A and B are shown apart, each in its own frame.
Chain A
């Protein structure tokens, strides 16, 4: 079992819809969770981080964390074509080190 698993995708949504990206992790002791966006040929860009159970909202993005279920998700409201990218879920494994999922590629169609 991979330490961090994401929906394999690709995920395609129409412009204006909600995109839902999911991630599960295996280490129950993990405390910090991150979502990165990576455009093709570019390095990852931090979108959000979440430490506590529940929802965390930042503009059109909402991260949701459920430690009991070892599940973290990212919702993108009012999806735009510019949101088309690969989204990486990362789990901090201590001392700043992160383990990444394989990523989910999102395409937002105009």
Chain B
């Protein structure tokens, strides 16, 4: 299957700082990537759809000004959590795929905001 990488794998930051997470497709080009968030013992919740060269599409209830998504190339999407607070602590996972059906997940980024 396709390979998706994420960086960093984990990050600890102080409340109020911004954190950028990178998601890369290593062996395919992705016009669309997806960002998910997973809290402990819960399932994945789709946050937004990242579209190459255009604005991201956010799911209901997700603040677009807080979670900035940039998809500047066919192999890179970034998620920036701005002014992070402890409630933003979560496991952030991106996914991508060559087609619009099967998606492959990155290894995830664990964020802890103190």
Which A residues lie at the B interface, using CB under 8 A?
32, 34, 36, 42-46, 49, 88, 92, 95-103
Which residue of chain A is the closest to B108 with respect to CB atoms? A43
Which residue of chain B is the closest to A34 with respect to CB atoms? B102
Chain B interface helix/strand/loop/mixed: loop
CB distance from A93 to the nearest CB of B (A): 9
Residues of A contacting B100 in the complex (Cβ-Cβ under 8 angstroms):
95-96
Which residue of chain B is the closest to A44 with respect to CB atoms? B105
Contact B42 A95 (CB under 8 A): no
Interface residues on B, range: 20 to 34
Q: In whole angstroms, what is the CA distance A96 to B48 when docked? A: 12
Which B residues lie at the A interface, using CB under 8 A?
1, 32, 34, 42-46, 49, 91, 93, 97, 99-108
Contact A96 B43 (CB under 8 A): no
Contact A49 B44 (CB under 8 A): no
Contact A96 B97 (CB under 8 A): yes
Name the one of A45, A49, A101, A103 contacting B101, with C-beta atoms under 8 angstroms. Answer: A49
CB distance from A7 to the nearest CB of B (A): 13
Name the one of B102, B103, B107 contacting A42, with C-beta atoms under 8 angstroms. Answer: B107
Which residue of chain A is the closest to B91 with respect to CB atoms? A43
Task: Give 28 pairs: A residue, B residue, CB < 8 Å, sorted on A.
Answer: A32-B101, A42-B107, A43-B93, A43-B106, A43-B107, A43-B108, A45-B105, A46-B103, A46-B104, A46-B105, A49-B102, A92-B101, A95-B32, A95-B100, A96-B32, A96-B34, A96-B49, A96-B97, A96-B99, A96-B101, A97-B34, A97-B46, A98-B46, A99-B46, A100-B44, A100-B45, A101-B43, A103-B43
